[in-house]
Amino acid sequence: MDKLNIVGNGPLRGEISISGAKNAALPILAATLLCPEPFTVSNVPHLRDITTTLELLGRFGTRIELDENMTLVADSASLTTLQAPYELVRTMRASILVLGPLLTRFGEAEVSLPGGCAIGSRPVNLHIQGLKAMGAHIEIEDGYIKAHAKRLKGARFLFDVISVTGTENLMMAATLADGVTVLENAAREPEITDLARCLTAMGARIKGAGTDTITIEGVEKLHGGSHTITSDRIETGTFLVAAAATGGHIRLRRTEPSYLDAVIEKLRETGAIIHSEGDVIEIDMRGKRPKSVNVTTAPYPAFPTDMQAQFVALNAFAQGTATVKETIFENRFMHVQELQRMGADIELQGNTAIVRGVEVLHGAPVMATDLRASACLVIAGLAAQGETEIDRIYHLDRGYECIEEKLAQLGAKIRRLPAGTRPQKCTGAS
Ligand code: EPU
């Protein structure tokens, strides 16, 4: 397994471009299954989760052409199977996003139940309940969700918990249903709005995306077209925190500042000076040690759970004590133990981490446990004294495009050690 070697060497400086959003690209690629004509998607990020999704689409019989600029044309005119197998679904939970599109267009679908996850139990009961409300017959058999429906019917569905992929699955299913579907207490994430824009480009009729009530009027058929994926707000936020953590000064291009209001507000509280104009955000933290900030995760537009781990890293050597409360997932603090190995003073009390900032973190061998935990360890490694070696960075490759190249461009001392490379001697706690 590849590892990352990072030597903390001070402030990040310079300018990079932000990639297309992973969590927008995944539902949008699933949405191409709705379309009987070729559909073009641009600004697709080059990530492992995208490769997995393309492999899944390929299994169904979708023909995919991908150019060197990561613009792809997906042609799902005729499919050969409607089954999403366990071996792919277990590597990527977002595979559940094919359930709604396949069922609504072809009248049946079989998707393996995703199973356990490193950050929480993550059930898909709301996806299933919502499709049932639209008239689907669904059974769980041999570990598979087996769904049938002659044609889904428009329905009113209230999410009792806000679910991002749940909202996306039902929104896609509703595009070809008979009648009007109203999704209440829907997720409002920018990725939902981006998916709605993509579906509209296919001929879907959707109102209210970005609010908590989304209305979809089903149509008989969708058609080909094109869509450009929006920028990745979590990648943007991760680089902003990395700059704040290292006392850096960076500019991020091709991003969307308005997606990050809650994150930017918290970064300003740490002492960062942030300016945004058009699609550029600039952060300046030169000569400062960050001040601790309290954070509570909640659905958009509040502070995102996908930025929680990065703020734990920032607080770990900030001035003061902060509480970081996780309200979305029940087990999303796996990074805490690894940070403790680097000298962090963090106490876990249920869903809250009490982070007492220390003057310095020390490089150490650490292990990534999930995508955002990996980002947290990268930030800690950049800001620590000495050398950090992060194992299991395949998690990072799922969601950050060219992270070591981008960080190197900002002056970081970071390199990938391909599998088989002898472990480097690390300084600090071990
Ligand atoms: N939930 C249910 N039942 C359901 C669905 C969700 O109880 O049927 C619960 C979950 O257990 C959780 C809460 O609802 O407690 C919210 O989960 P949600 O369904 O919103 O999460 P998701 O759609 O599976 C997406 C992102 C995650 C991100 C969460 C929350 C994608 C592909 N994934 O997951 O991204 O953390 O929303 O914002 O969009 C990541 O990128 O690192 C990542 C984990």
53-81 pLDDT tens trace = 999 999 999 999 999 999 999 999 999 99
Q: Is the pTM of this model over 0.85?
A: yes
**Per-residue pLDDT at 179:** 98
In ligand 1, the atom with minimum distance to the C-alpha of 26 is 32
Q: Whose CA is nearest to atom 29 of ligand 1?
A: 164
> Would you say residue 167 has pLDDT above 60?
yes
> Would you say residue 422 has pLDDT above 60?
no
**Ligand 1 proximity of 21 Cβ (cutoff 6 Å):** no
> Would you say residue 428 has pLDDT above 50?
no
Q: Mapped to the 3 state alphabet, what secondary structure does the chain carry?
A: CCEEEEECCCCCEEEEECCECHHHHHHHHHHHHHCCCCEEEECCCCCHHHHHHHHHHHHHCCEEEECCCCCEEEECCCCCCCEECHHHHCCCHHHHHHHHHHHHHHCEEEEECCCCCCCCCCCCHHHHHHHHHCCCEEEEECCEEEEECCCCECCEEECCCCCHHHHHHHHHHHHCCECEEEEECCCCCHHHHHHHHHHHHCCCEEECECECEEEEECCCCCCCEEEECCECHHHHHHHHHHHHHHCCEEEEECCCHHHHHHHHHHHHHHCCEEEEECCEEEEECCCCCCECCCEECCCCCCCCHHHHHHHHHHHHCCECEEEEECCCCCCCCHHHHHHHHCCCEEEEECCEEEEECCCCCECCEEECCCHHHHHHHHHHHHHCECEEEEECCHHHHHHCCCHHHHHHHCCCEEEEECCCCCCCCCCCCC
Q: Whose CA is nearest to atom 17 of ligand 1?
A: 163
> Would you say residue 426 has pLDDT above 50?
no
> Would you say residue 427 has pLDDT above 70?
no
Q: Where does the pLDDT of residue 242 fall: very low under 50, low under 70, confident under 90, or very high at 90 and above?
A: very high
**Per-residue pLDDT at 421:** 57
> Would you say residue 187 has pLDDT above 70?
yes
Least confident piece of the model among 102-116, 144-158, 188-202, 241-255: 102-116
**Ligand 1 proximity of 19 Cβ (cutoff 6 Å):** no
In ligand 1, the atom with minimum distance to the C-alpha of 128 is 8
> Would you say residue 126 has pLDDT above 90?
yes
Average pLDDT taken over every residue of the chain: 95
Query: Which of 421 and 36 is assigned the larger pLDDT?
Result: 36
> Would you say residue 157 has pLDDT above 60?
yes
Q: Find the 306 Cα to ligand 1 centroid distance in Å.
A: 10
pLDDT digits (tens, 9 = 90+) for 296-351: 999 999 999 999 999 999 999 999 999 999 999 988 999 999 999 999 999 999 99
Q: Find the 430 Cα to ligand 1 centroid distance in Å.
A: 34
Q: Where does the pLDDT of residue 201 fall: very low under 50, low under 70, confident under 90, or very high at 90 and above?
A: very high
**Ligand 1 proximity of 26 Cβ (cutoff 6 Å):** yes
> Would you say residue 423 has pLDDT above 50?
no
Q: Where does the pLDDT of residue 121 fall: very low under 50, low under 70, confident under 90, or very high at 90 and above?
A: confident
**Per-residue pLDDT at 339:** 98
**Per-residue pLDDT at 119:** 77
Residue of 19, 23, 334 best suited for mutating to test ligand 1, as the one with most atoms within 8 Å of CB: 23
**Per-residue pLDDT at 430:** 25
**Per-residue pLDDT at 330:** 87
Percentage of the chain modeled with pLDDT above 70: 97
Least confident piece of the model among 114-123, 260-269, 346-355: 114-123
Q: Is 402 a catalytic residue?
A: no
**Per-residue pLDDT at 215:** 98
pLDDT digits (tens, 9 = 90+) for 396-416: 999 999 999 999 999 999 999
> Would you say residue 374 has pLDDT above 50?
yes
**Per-residue pLDDT at 60:** 97
Average pLDDT over residues 17-32: 98
Q: Where does the pLDDT of residue 387 fall: very low under 50, low under 70, confident under 90, or very high at 90 and above?
A: very high
User: Which one of 35, 117, 376, 402 is the catalytic residue?
Assistant: 117
Average pLDDT over residues 220-243: 98
